[in-house]
Chains A and B, each alone.
Chain A
Amino acid sequence: MTDDLPVAKTDDIEIRLLLEAIFRKYHYDFRNYAIASIKRRLVQARDHFRCATFSQLQDKALHDPAILRELLGFLTVQVSEMFRDPSYFKAIREKVVPHLRTYPSLKIWVAGCSSGEEVYSLAILLREEGLEEKAMIYATDINPEALRKAEAGIFSTDRIQQFTQNHRLSGGKSSLSDYYTADYGGAQFDKTLRSRVLFSDHSLVTDAVFGEMHLISCRNVLIYFDRDLQDRAIGLFRDSLGRKGFLGLGSKESLRFSKHSDAFADFSRDERLYQKLGA
């Protein structure tokens, strides 16, 4: 008995099985997500769907495909702001943009874009710096509902004050109010901001390399992954970046556990900006 595996807790077994079921049936792979966050989110989903156990939620997920969309909402919920961590955008503006200016055309990837706050932030920054015309922004997420919201570009007006302050602190050269019209409880962002944006479905867990990028921004996505999955994603970024391309992570994310860290140099350590080494 003493050498046997420790007895797993029932809800941990159930969560493993539920994630396996979601993967086998729908090909959304959360099996290597960090478990603490996934569990909290699944508890919310379980209560929302009025299931007594995760096994009941699994039963529902397998036999009622209609709930998948809502379940994905629980599993991928992301909270962001426009110009979140203004110093990150300030560093892009002051330190990365001079490099970007030297290219005839630009490809930028916002990986895990959720409802699009960062996409619009970068689009505004590029317009302010006069780089918009030669840039293409690829905005990807696994959640079609989030992509739809991102594409709509409508944000609640009670968030605008924070966005405005962040934009100013990021070194914004214009007024944020130039880019939206406030209407019936929502701020609708200028549709022309997304004329250079391509929204698409892409998974960092199961999908492949994305093409010769000059800048990849993927913030507060990797913290939801375990170390192995973080490594897969970082490998994907390395292979998707062109020579001397830039990678920006969230303020509490780094490459220090990654076996791919040798492929990058610190570019702005405090802002978690890295540059791929020239081959």
Chain B
Amino acid sequence: MFRAKVIIKRRPSILDPQGKAVEKGALHLGLTNIRNTRIGKYIEFDVLSENREEAEKEVNEYCNKLLANPIMEDYEFTLEEVK
């Protein structure tokens, strides 16, 4: 079995109004050095497979078809074997 940890980020060309709004909060906190706040998603799950290659294939399909929308998001992931 593998533990997958996926990070989904908005593509750099896509505006992130949420990140901008949150960054305003940072200013109000007095944190004046914060820039370029971008908000993404972190998703983790198990893949019931003994074969790393097969697990990777499945994670890619999950990400491409459902977890991320390739028009506006990029994803990256790690796979850790769980004994």
Q: Do A and B bind each other?
A: no
